[in-house]
């Protein structure tokens, strides 16, 4: 039977239901998975009708989904994603825009739009998504929920449609920090090296990219974090690399090359129908892939080493999850690009350096949510979730 879906969050073309085990740490909970996760005997649609039409049913289920079902959670369906997960807006040309219940008339953020909308609207307890350039962190911020982008490679991404594999991670959303951490206990296992997070660093250049109302609204979150970790240390994340805008460009070029390497052959042979914005984005990725490679890969490793040093010895970086509240739906292309560039200038930090980042629904502006993020060293995912839980209690969220 089709899912009762007043928010337009679910793919009605695929009825993928997996009953959870009778017992387990997530028994009795309901979840959804972004329609890039394979479920055996169902076709994975990846947000595009031509992908759906040209691919066979999956022979097996994604390990991340299997782990949740084995832990007792029941999967009730697949959620809408931006086409091949290559957008931050959450507006799918073919399947529509899931409703953002906490910011009516505004975008939910993407590409994990349906998963975020379903969690925010109470249709499920938690939901799986993915994050390449911000697709967990941004929807969490815009929809007013919790979201985790884990360390790269920490959660198996097998049987998940890739976008840019060296950036792709499996993440998830929940409405409270306790459940976010409970899901983490299932998907992450113990941290490889026990971490104690003890020092707060404030990313001043990241806060400078956010609108003034965002900076003001998040000050209580910074203050609450200092009560847990002590006086904050101001840092300049962009450093001598030209600032966060320049690092965003490095991210976009590396991502584009990987995206075309991943999907170029299928696009050239299948000639799929993309929405105008997504078609332009893939055309740009192709043009980047056809030019000689520069020094972006080496710069990424230098940036990673810089962040590794910054976050050693228990340091945590705080920053806005997004530069503003959710933009209105169907905004002009120029405004959409400006929002995307400012967002990627924030999200590229964890993406380039392969770090875990958690977003908390810490504030509201004009009745719309805005998220507060914490980034920890690679592999400290469980410690980061524990800190987020403590901070959520301090903020009463």
In a domain, 233, yes or no: yes
Structure tokens at 306: 């810089």
Neighbours of 116 (CB within 10 A): 34
Strands (DSSP E) found in 208-341: 233-235, 315-320
Task: Tell me the pLDDT of the chain (397 aa) as tens digits.
Answer: 568 899 999 998 888 999 999 999 999 999 999 999 999 999 999 999 999 999 999 999 999 999 999 999 999 999 999 999 999 999 999 999 999 999 999 999 999 999 999 999 999 999 999 999 999 999 999 999 999 999 999 999 999 999 999 999 999 999 999 999 999 999 999 999 877 899 999 999 999 999 999 999 999 999 999 999 999 999 999 987 789 999 999 999 999 999 999 999 999 999 999 999 999 999 999 999 999 999 999 999 999 999 999 999 999 999 999 999 999 998 898 888 999 999 999 999 999 999 999 999 999 999 999 999 999 999 999 999 999 999 999 999 9
In a domain, 130, yes or no: yes
In a domain, 6, yes or no: no
Catalytic residue numbers, as ranges: 34, 111, 135
pLDDT attached to residue 124: 98
pLDDT attached to residue 209: 97
In a domain, 277, yes or no: no
Structure tokens at 45: 């649609």
Tell whether 76 and 127 lie within a shared domain: yes
Tell whether 320 and 176 lie within a shared domain: no
Name the maximum alpha-carbon separation found in the chain.
57
Tell whether 233 and 184 lie within a shared domain: no
In a domain, 307, yes or no: yes
Residue numbers of the domain that contains 111 = 30-188
Whole-number Å distance between alpha carbons of 51 and 267: 10
Tell whether 215 and 175 lie within a shared domain: no
Tell whether 134 and 230 lie within a shared domain: no
Tell whether 98 and 181 lie within a shared domain: yes
Total structural domains within the chain = 2
In a domain, 270, yes or no: no
Whole-number Å distance between alpha carbons of 283 and 289: 10
Structure tokens at 282: 């893939």
Tell whether 321 and 364 lie within a shared domain: yes
H-assigned helices in 62-211 = 63-70, 113-120, 137-143, 177-188, 204-209
Tell whether 334 and 312 lie within a shared domain: yes
Tell whether 208 and 160 lie within a shared domain: no
In a domain, 59, yes or no: yes
Strands 357-365 and 233-235: unpaired
3-state SS track over 144-186: CCEEEECCCCCCCCCCECCCCCCCCEEEEEECCHHHHHHHHHH
In a domain, 380, yes or no: yes
Q: What's the length of the chain?
A: 397
Tell whether 351 and 231 lie within a shared domain: yes
CB 370 within 8 A of CB 362: yes
Angle formed by the axes of helices 381-395 and 177-188, nearest 10°: 170
Tell whether 90 and 216 lie within a shared domain: no
Structure tokens at 287: 């043009």
Among the three residues 188, 222, 253, which one is the final residue of a domain in this structure? 188
Among the three residues 188, 217, 232, which one is the final residue of a domain in this structure? 188
Tell whether 176 and 210 lie within a shared domain: no
* DSSP assignment string, 361-382: EEEEETTEEEEEEEE--TT-HH
Query: Domain with 224 in it: what CATH number?
Result: 3.90.1300.10
């Amino acid at each position: 039977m089709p899912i009762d879906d007043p928010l337009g969050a679910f793919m009605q073309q695929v009825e993928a239901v997996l009953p959870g085990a009778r017992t387990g740490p997530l028994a009795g909970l309901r979840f959804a998975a972004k329609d890039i996760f394979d479920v055996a005997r169902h076709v994975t649609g990846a947000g595009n009708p031509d992908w759906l039409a040209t691919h066979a049913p999956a022979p097996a289920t994604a390990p991340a989904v299997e782990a949740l079902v084995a832990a007792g959670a029941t999967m009730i369906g697949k959620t809408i994603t931006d086409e091949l997960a290559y957008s931050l807006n959450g507006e799918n040309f073919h399947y529509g825009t899931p409703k953002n219940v906490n910011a009516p008339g505004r975008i939910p953020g993407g590409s994990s739009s349906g998963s975020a909308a379903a969690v925010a609207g109470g249709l499920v307890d938690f939901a799986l998504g993915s994050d390449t350039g911000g697709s967990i962190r941004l929807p969490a911020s815009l929809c007013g929920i919790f979201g985790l982008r884990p360390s790269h490679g920490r959660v198996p991404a097998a049987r998940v449609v890739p976008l840019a594999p060296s950036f792709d991670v499996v993440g998830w959303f929940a409405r409270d920090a306790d459940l976010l951490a409970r899901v983490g206990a299932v998907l992450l296992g113990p941290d490889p090296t026990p971490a104690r997070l003890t020092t707060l660093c404030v990313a001043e250049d990241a806060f400078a990219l956010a609108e003034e109302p965002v900076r003001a609204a998040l000050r209580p979150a910074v203050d609450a974090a200092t009560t847990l970790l002590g006086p904050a240390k101001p840092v300049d994340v962009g450093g001598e690399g030209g600032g966060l805008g320049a690092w965003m460009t490095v991210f976009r070029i590396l991502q584009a090359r990987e995206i075309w390497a991943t999907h170029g052959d299928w696009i050239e042979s299948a000639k799929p129908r993309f929405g105008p914005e997504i078609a332009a984005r893939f055309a740009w990725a192709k043009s980047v892939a056809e030019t000689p490679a520069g020094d972006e890969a080496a710069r990424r490793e230098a940036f990673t080493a810089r962040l590794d040093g910054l976050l050693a010895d228990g340091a945590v970086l705080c920053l806005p999850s997004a530069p503003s509240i959710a933009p209105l739906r169907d905004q002009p292309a120029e405004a959409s690009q400006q929002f995307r560039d400012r967002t990627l200038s924030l999200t590229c930090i964890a993406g380039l350096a392969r770090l875990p980042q958690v977003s908390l629904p810490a504030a509201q502006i004009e009745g719309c949510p805005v998220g507060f993020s914490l980034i920890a060293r690679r592999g400290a995912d469980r410690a980061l979730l524990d800190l987020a839980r403590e901070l959520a209690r301090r903020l009463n969220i």
